[in-house]
Structure formats: C-alpha cells, structure tokens
Amino acid sequence: MTPPDPHPRRHAVVIGAGAVGCATAIEALRAGLRVTIVEPATAGGPHATSYGNAGWLSSHSVVPPALPGAWRKVPGWLADPMGPLAVRWRYLPKALPWLLRYLASGWTEARVQRTADALRTMLSDAPALHRQLATEAGVPQLIEQRGLLHAYRSRREFEGEALGWRVRARTGVRWEEWDAATLRLREPDLDPRYTFGIFVGEAGHCRDPGRYVAALDRHAQALGATVLPSRALGFRVEAGRLRAVLTEAGEIACDAAALCAGARSAALAAGVGSAVPLESERGYHVQIAGPRHGPRTPVMVADGKLIAHWMDGGLRAAGQVEIAGLAAPADWRRADILHRHLRTMFGGLPAAAGDAGVQRWLGHRPSTPDGLPCIGPSAATPDVVLAFGHGHVGLGGSARTARWVAPMLAGAPPQPCLAPFSPGRFAARARRPVSAG
C-alpha cells in the first residue's frame, strides 16, 4: 500500500479553457500546483471568443470604449441598428444599468487616463509574453510582431481622436506618423481615400487565435493538467475556505479555483459574493479565403471601426459592438457590413458575403462597464480568484493576467498593481456617490 503523500500539492481548478484559462493553467503548473481544467467544449473551437477575434496583441489598446461626450452618441446607437455600436431595443431595459455605468466610466479624461494606466500594466509586454508561450506550445509561427496601422482619411479625422492618442502617449506608447505617400508605399493595396496613418511598431498579432488557444490547452495537458469536459455550476465554501468546485459531473475537491469563464462568469462570481456587472459586447467577423489583395500590416480604419489583417485561413475583418445579451440570435447583417467595408478598402474581393470561401462568425466579448477586467479574490473567499471581463483585450491580456493569477492560486495575496482590477470595486462604487473626477 502506498503511504499518503506527506506534502500533497495544492490543487487548483481553472474554470474555462479560453485564452485566459489556458494561460492561467500553464502558469499554475509552473508554480507547482496540481491543475484541473473544467471546460464543456473544445478549447479554441468556434464557440469560443478567442476563436474568431481580431488577433491583435495590441499593447497600446489601453483606451476604454467610452470617452468624454459619449452620451451624446446614445440616440444614434439606438436609432442605427447597423452602427459600429448598437443596442437592440428589446434588450435595452436589461442593459441600461450597464450602459449608464459605461458612460460614467469615461466621463472625464482623468478617468480615462486611470483606466489606460492600469491596462498598460497588463498589455505593455503582450507580444513578448505570447511569443514565449507560443514557442513553448510548439506554435511559434502563430505570433508575429509587425506593428499595427491606424488608417485615417485625413489628419483632421486623426485629430478627432486626439484625446485617445494623448492618453496613450502618457502611458508610454510611441508611434510613427505616415503621410499619404508613405501609406501608398507601405500599403499599396489600401484604398487611396486613406491619406494619414499612425503606425505603432511595438504591437503584434496572432495569425490563428483559435489554433493558438487549442495549442495552449494541449501544452497545459502535456505539463500535467487534467481536463474535465463538464460545466461548472458553483462552489462549496465552508468557513471562508473553498472545499470544492461543483460541476455537472460532480464535485471536484480543491484548494483554489480561477474563474476564467468569459462572458458566462457573472453568475458563478455572484455565487461567491462578487456581483460584477458583466455584459457581452457581441462582435462579428468575416474572413475571406485566398483573396489577391490585402494589407501588408494589420490595419484598423477609423471610418469603419474595423480591424483587417491576414490570418492563416485568409483575410479577416473584425469589429462591431452589439449589445443584445448572450441568447439573442446573430444578426448576420452586421458581418455583411464588415464585408462591404472590407471591399471598399481593398479591390478584387468576393462581391457577396454568401460567396464560397467567405466565413461569418459571432462571439461574445466579456465586458465590464469601466473597461477593466476583474482580477483578484472573490468576496466570499480568497481561494476563488476571478479572472474575466477583459472585453476587447482578452487575448492580448491573457498572458500577463495568468502570471498575476497563478501566485494567488498558490496562496499569495494579490499584487499591489492589481488594485484597479479588484472585483470589489463595483461593490465599493455602489456605496458611494458618483464624483466628477
């Protein structure tokens, strides 16, 4: 009979096998923990947000979506169901509290700057961290660092976004300005209506986010993680300590858990005392296999609010924000808008979104109203660590998030730099009046 281990390893359960969950499992294993991943579906599959996102590892994506004066745009959002940000009327009563907080979070430049400073700590080294992870997982070719281009129709259009670039500069982001001649030289296929560009050389991108997350999942298993193909239902907490994670397949006895279930995390977080206002910012993509023309550099165009660049499967355009909840059916007209705009950017693309070789997709970005993820212990127990709500920067921010979460799973307190991401910030704000600062 084998005697019991006098020093059993601490057991951590990671709920969710998206980019954040897989990276967290890897870092927890590195920290010497025993790890079980709970995930009902295939990591990196079409259901996953990571599968179809834009692939940006944009270390400069630190400006929250809501900026001062955004409230003036609300009537337009409601009136134009096909606009870059739209709210379905039927869902508005449920979304309204979240939307009000969303607008308040960007009420002043000072608030925007605080958010940007926090996000920069999570994103500044994203390309390097992901290059390391991809190399370890055997897919180094999926991570590239060729910079990102923001294309504008004019310098005046760029100046209309001056606040965002001013905020980025204060966080340490640097860039090059490209005039019309430079744009033509560097991006000969891009429509000539774009006459001014901002090139951020430090940023990177992933050529196949779904395949990358699948590789991270395999790597975690190779390092010793066990995968339970089931859905997490809650937690058993006794005397302030986590005893088990409850799943459809039964209880998993454990010492710690990381909640990384993306847009489906809110109910589980509430079960351990952390009420987080989480919403799905539904995003669409269209991907065209084998077109003859496209960008040399991953590009975001200001007039369409979309991102376009090459994936291993073809030319992908991603963008749009639709507030309609998790259950509403897809409105594929939004993907068709991306396709039409992509055709105006580059010539020779298929004429219809329904053509062979054109893929459409919908995913759910897990978003908090202040643009910051929740990273830190739950209110009920420090043994359950929340790690969700990354919005538009989930892929890029996953690697640094994992390095923050793993020590907490091992029993360490949260690092001081995590204060802005504390899940308790929403409860604290609910108890105090809104200030102007």
User: First and final CA of the chain: distance in angstroms?
Assistant: 66
Mean model confidence pLDDT for the chain:
92
**pLDDT tens column, 154-196:** 999 999 999 999 999 999 999 999 999 999 999 999 999 999 9
Q: In this predicted structure, what is the pLDDT of residue 428? A: 58
Question: 434 pLDDT band (50/70/90 cuts)?
Answer: very low
Q: What is the DSSP letter of 302?
A: T
**pLDDT tens column, 304-344:** 889 999 999 999 999 888 999 999 999 999 999 999 999 99
Q: Say how far apart CA 244 and CA 255 lie, in whole Å.
A: 8
Q: Which residue has the higher pLDDT, 429 or 433?
A: 429
Q: In this predicted structure, what is the pLDDT of residue 242? A: 98
Q: In this predicted structure, what is the pLDDT of residue 8? A: 72
- Per-residue pLDDT for 432 more than 80? no
CB 118 within 8 A of CB 170: no
- The domain limits of the chain are 10-62+121-144+204-277+369-437
Q: In this predicted structure, what is the pLDDT of residue 436? A: 35
Q: In this predicted structure, what is the pLDDT of residue 352? A: 64
> Given the structure tokens 């055997």, which residue do they identify?
138
Average pLDDT over residues 94-99: 94
Q: In this predicted structure, what is the pLDDT of residue 80? A: 73
> What is the percent of the chain where pLDDT is above 90?
83
Q: In this predicted structure, what is the pLDDT of residue 183? A: 97
**pLDDT tens column, 249-277:** 999 999 999 999 999 999 999 999 999 99
Contacts of 178 (CB under 8 A, 6+ apart): 149, 186, 196, 197, 198, 199
User: Do strands 226-228 and 34-38 pair parallel, antiparallel, or not at all (unpaired)?
Assistant: parallel
Q: Say how far apart CA 158 and CA 152 lie, in whole Å.
A: 6
**pLDDT tens column, 120-154:** 999 999 999 999 999 999 999 999 999 999 999 99
CB 230 within 8 A of CB 247: yes
> What is the percent of the chain where pLDDT is above 70?
94
Q: In this predicted structure, what is the pLDDT of residue 1? A: 46
Q: Say how far apart CA 163 and CA 257 lie, in whole Å.
A: 39
Question: 83 pLDDT band (50/70/90 cuts)?
Answer: confident
Q: In this predicted structure, what is the pLDDT of residue 20? A: 98
Which residues partner with 237 through β-bridges?
242
Which residues partner with 284 through β-bridges?
319, 362
- Per-residue pLDDT for 5 more than 90? no
Q: In this predicted structure, what is the pLDDT of residue 179? A: 98
Q: In this predicted structure, what is the pLDDT of residue 401? A: 98
Q: Please calculate the CA angle 340-63-310 and round it to the nearest 5 degrees.
A: 40
Average pLDDT over residues 104-124: 96
- Per-residue pLDDT for 216 more than 70? yes
| CATH 3.30.470.20 is the classification of domain 10-62+121-144+204-277+369-437 | no
Q: In this predicted structure, what is the pLDDT of residue 421? A: 98
Average pLDDT over residues 199-228: 98
- Per-residue pLDDT for 426 more than 70? yes
